[in-house]
Chain A
Amino acid sequence: SQTIHQWPATLVQPVGSPLSLECTVEGTSNPNLYWYRQAAGRGLQLLFYSVGIGQISSEVPQNLSASRPQDRQFILSSKKLLLSDSGFYLCAWSGQGGTEAFFGQGTRLTVV
């Protein structure tokens, strides 16, 4: 069966520090991968999605970036965090062709 791992579960980082969140998927090949952010009490905002290795689409301008170095690995990064980067970051995967998405447990990031 397929599983998705996302870590860390919580993170407190100072303003200006770098960020790296990792997500890996097991049990499937060539998944679509997604990074979402959810501010407190708000909906999910799509940050990045990827349909294959090295293929990243960005949905909103920001100081975040994403990379997909391997088929089932998706990384969210920042060189310098801002206070506004605080939120709940969720990684998800879906199969090709309009299938449902499955989420990792999320990373709660607080920038102080």
Chain B
Amino acid sequence: RKEVEQDPGPFNVPEGATVAFNCTYSNSASQSFFWYRQDCRKEPKLLMSVYSSGNEDGRFTAQLNRASQYISLLIRDSKLSDSATYLCVVTYSAGNMLTFGGGTRLMVKP
């Protein structure tokens, strides 16, 4: 079983739709959680951290469920520019190890 798992997609949604991704992790000692965005042939860039209480940044909402060991990302009012691959990242061992999920590809269509 992979340490961090994501549905690879692609998720094809129309503009304006709401879409949600989940990411499950296997190590209950995981400490920190992040969502990254990666555009085609580019480096991943931090989208948002995921806090225990959940957090929101504009159209993006991230949540953590420690009991079930998953994090989620909700995107409201999807834009064409949201088309990208979204990577879930989990850290272990006092934060020295960042482990990436395989990514979920989102395609927003007009």
Instruction: Tell me how far the C-beta of B36 lies from the nearest C-beta in chain A, rounded to whole angstroms.
Output: 8
* A46: chain B residues within 8 A (beta carbon): 97-100
Interface size class on chain A is 20 to 34
A44 to B85, CA, bound (A): 12
**Are A101 and B89 also in contact (CB < 8 A) when A34-B98, A49-B96, A49-B97 are?**
yes
Binding stretch for chain B, among A68-76, A77-85, A90-98: A90-98
A67 to B42, CA, bound (A): 25
* B100: chain A residues within 8 A (beta carbon): 36, 43-44, 46
Contacts of B70-91 to chain A: CB distance below 8 A: 87, 89, 91
B66 within 8 A of A: no
Contacts of B34-64 to chain A: CB distance below 8 A: 34, 41-46, 49
Asked whether B44 lies within 8 Å of A44 as measured between CB atoms, the reply is yes
A-B contact pairs, 6 of them (CB 8 A): A88-B41, A90-B43, A96-B94, A103-B44, A104-B43, A106-B42
Given A43-B100, A98-B91, 4 more pairs with CB closer than 8 A: A49-B96, A88-B41, A96-B96, A98-B32
